[in-house]
Amino acid sequence: MVTFVKKLLIMNFTDLPSSSVSKYTIKRYPKTTNRSLLPWSKGDEFAVWFLKTNQLLNKGIAIYNDSFGYLSSHLLTDKTEIRISKKSQEKAIGTNLEENDLMFDENQFLDLNAINEVKTEVVVLKVPKSLDLFELYLSKISESIDENSVVVCSFMTKYFTKKMIELAEFYFEDVKQTKAWKKSRLIVLSKPKEIEKKSLINEINSDFGLFKQYYGVFSADHIDYATQFLIQNMTIPQDAERVLDLASGNGILAKVIQDKNPNIEIHLVDDSSLAIESSKLNINGDNVHFHLNNNLADFESDSLDYIVSNPPFHVDHEIDISLPLELFKQAARCLKKKGVFQLVFNNHLNYTTHLNRIFKDVKVAAENDKFTVLNCSASQL
């Protein structure tokens, strides 16, 4: 393998693929009506071609940040491990593997913190939008490989920043970048450095207290402005007994509710395992419950008095409102008849029209030039 690494770096990446076509049918989950949103990128194709060309498909491969399953489908063997940071990733990848009749073991899905005794030979990483998350991935990867391993990072050229290379060079001795292919590039890394382990937790001082969150969780250096606006206009029903922080992030909304109502039963739901683990740093108690999920399947219909949310609408660099729209429908199902769903959103998103189809009563609680807070009640689904 050492010989391969040396040869790889000398190649200077002059040979690039002429074309690439998926031999599997890969779909986005949840489904979207936006045809411009694809389930994989040219960077994914480039990474698969690179491994195939360099005869790495028979190696032990670890895949990080595969959104919908393109990488997992094309690189799957009984030695492949799929590192998961979001429940939606696990569901989408698993669904696409099954629909393409690809046999896999559920044990091949591993949490980011899972430790393997055997060092991984090849790692494929789709570079995420968050450079904090990219660093967290690099940190985890550098601990799971040895000097004979190769790490292939793919990204679309328009999202390149010098910080990517700086982070890669912090964790690895050898860092090489390919030429562009169809507006995508690869960064190939080897020889992890022996460095002092770094704490990958951000601390945010705010008017609402000190909050901690792992690298990669939304809004790393301050409390998101939309969330701040929601907190300023939060109206918790006086008789509420069971409430939900939907898409809870670092748990700040739940913590504000707990501070005002110490005895209330609070549930936090988030798609990201890093978000859930972050919220556990900020809120606790016998009446606090955490749910790692991208839906409300854990909750019965008519079971919640109050749901509060700053819902996500991004998948990395892409805007996809099919994600919050599905959450809105599930929120309507879970609310009690007199329950309230309160959310904040950016004004450029056309949520009010959709919410009026889901709830009988939709009222503006507050608005400014950037954000709107709505109170929704009485499901009509």
- The rounded mean pLDDT for the chain is 92
Q: What is the mean pLDDT of residues 9-15?
A: 51
What does the pLDDT read at residue 1? 45
pLDDT tens, position by position, 328-357 = 999 999 999 999 999 999 999 989 999 999
For 123-155, the pLDDT digits (tens) are: 999 999 999 999 999 999 999 999 999 999 999
**pTM for the whole structure:** 0.93
Q: Could you tell me how many helices (H) and strands (E) the chain has, helices first?
A: 11, 18
C-alpha distance from residue 35 to each of 2, 301, 312 (Å): 44, 32, 20
Q: Which pLDDT tens digit goes with each residue over 50-79?
A: 999 899 999 999 999 999 999 999 999 999
The band of 115, judged by pLDDT with boundaries at 50, 70 and 90, is confident
Instruction: Give the model's pLDDT for residue 11.
Output: 46
How far apart, in Å, are the Cα atoms of 350 and each of 220, 284, 347, 369?
Answer: 26, 35, 7, 15
pLDDT above 60: residue 81:
yes
> CB burial class (10 A; 0-12, 13-18, 19+) of residue 313?
middle
* Domain annotation for the chain: domains and CATH numbers: 2-192 (3.40.50.150), 202-379 (3.40.50.150)
C-alpha torsion angle, residues 41, 47, 52, 53 (rounded to 10): 110
Q: What is the DSSP string of 308-325?
A: EE----EETTEE-THHHH
Look up residue 33 and give its DSSP letter. Answer: S
> What is the structure's pLDDT at 197?
86
pLDDT at 9: 45
pLDDT at 368 (0 to 100): 97
Give the Cα separation of 286 and 207 in Å (integer). Answer: 26
Convert the pLDDT of each residue in 164-184 to its tens digit. 999 999 999 999 999 999 999
pLDDT tens digits for 217-251? 999 999 999 999 999 999 999 999 999 999 999 99
Share above pLDDT 70 across residues of the chain, in percent, rounded to a whole number = 95
Higher pLDDT, residue 248 or 30: 248
Residue linked to tokens 């194709």: 45
pLDDT at res. 167: 98
Mean pLDDT throughout 268-273? 97
Residues 73/101, Cβ–Cβ less than 8 Å: no
